[in-house]
Amino acid sequence: MKALRPVIFFSLLSLAAFFAVAATVDTHWKSDLLQWRQERATQLSSPDGWLTLVGLEWLKPGANAFGAAADNPIHLNAPVDAHLGVLDLKSDGVYLSLPAPSLLENGAPARPGKIETEGENPTVLKAGTLTLLVIHRGDRYALRIRDSQAPTRIHFQGLHWYAPDPRYRITARWIPFNPPHQEAIPTIIGTTLKLPVPGVAEFTLDGQTVQLEPVLEGPGEKQLFFILRDATSRTTTYGASRFLYTDFPDHGLDKPGHLVLDFNRLQNPPCAYTPYATCPLPPEKNKLTIALPVGEKRYSH
């Protein structure tokens, strides 16, 4: 028995060391998660965050005048000039004409010319506290209107989250598609996006095998984008969907491997905060029957 005591001692020591390391890892994971949640709230409530959206005006072919005057097809409810300019929707895009002296374009006085939509170098128009951006959705164009002094931003009181739960930080198997295919992703405004799907993430939860398909939002993306809905969408989370961004699998997109799905980082889409966003909806494969009681809850306006 005496000979066994050192063995038992060192076994207990090793076990204690293991739990100490596990506790450290868990502490770091939780602190990183809480910091990410705080950063998300800060980003949402920033002067150009989603809480500043106050309008989405779909452009009609031809002239679309905008300003504070009631006779503008696009009436801006803000202390800006009565007539700020005209957005001309033509077959090859949108053009600005008759800009008012108070209208700024990318920080300088606005000049007539073609408007660049969302991308690397979009045309950003500003007047007072308003920021105006032309967006392109399918075959339609719209003027997105932000107000840095919007009540939704000024009166923001924070987000609502489930308690962190490490059980929902899951290592999934990555099964690549060779070649990748495109998926038709519906949107909340009735349009359809064609986005590349590089593979599927497979994991087991509550005794069920689950598969989720991510998309790539654009060329050069460094993260996978999961659009999904689960059983909590009927009760405690946003009904349309939630989003999850993850790093690429350990062996890249085109080889089998593994990736971490931390469902504690499930977040609401912009449409949960404003009726003026144009959010994608989950494909049929990502409408789950299981519950994911983690991540962001419904937003209380």
Domains for the chain: give ranges and CATH numbers: 29-45+157-286 (no CATH), 50-151 (2.60.200)
State the pLDDT at residue 14: 41
Pick left, alpha or beta for residue 207 (phi over 0 → left; psi -120 to 50 → alpha; otherwise beta): left
State the pLDDT at residue 21: 36
For the segment 220-224, the average pLDDT, to the nearest whole number, is 92
State the pLDDT at residue 300: 83
Residue 11 burial by Cβ neighbours in a 10 Å radius (0-12, 13-18, 19+): exposed
For the segment 18-41, the average pLDDT, to the nearest whole number, is 76
State the pLDDT at residue 301: 66
CA atoms of 50 and 41, how far apart (whole Å) = 10
Provide the 3-class DSSP secondary structure of residue 285.
helix
What is the layout of strands, in order, in the sheet containing 108-109? Answer: 53-58, 140-147, 130-137, 124-127, 104-105, 108-109
| Residue range 81-137, pLDDT digits in tens | 999 999 999 999 999 999 999 999 999 999 999 999 977 789 999 999 999 999 998
Residue 272 burial by Cβ neighbours in a 10 Å radius (0-12, 13-18, 19+): buried
Nearest alpha-carbon partner for 238 in 171, 193, 184, 188: 188
pLDDT band at residue 23 under the 50/70/90 scheme: very low
State the pLDDT at residue 16: 43
**Residues in contact with 122: Cβ distance below 8 Å, sequence separation at least 6, in sequence order:** 116, 133, 134
1 pLDDT higher than 80: no
Q: By percentage, how much of the chain surpasses pLDDT 90?
A: 84
18 pLDDT higher than 90: no
CA 300 to chain centre: 18
CA atoms of 128 and 126, how far apart (whole Å) = 7
State the pLDDT at residue 2: 53
CB distance 124 to 117 below 8 Å: no
Q: Count CB-CB contacts under 10 A for residue 206.
A: 7
Pick left, alpha or beta for residue 122 (phi over 0 → left; psi -120 to 50 → alpha; otherwise beta): beta
180 versus 146: which is more confidently predicted?
Answer: 146
CA atoms of 233 and 18, how far apart (whole Å) = 38
Look up tokens 């099964």; give the residue: 175
Helices marked H in the chain — which ranges?
Answer: 4-44, 151-154
CA 82 to chain centre: 34
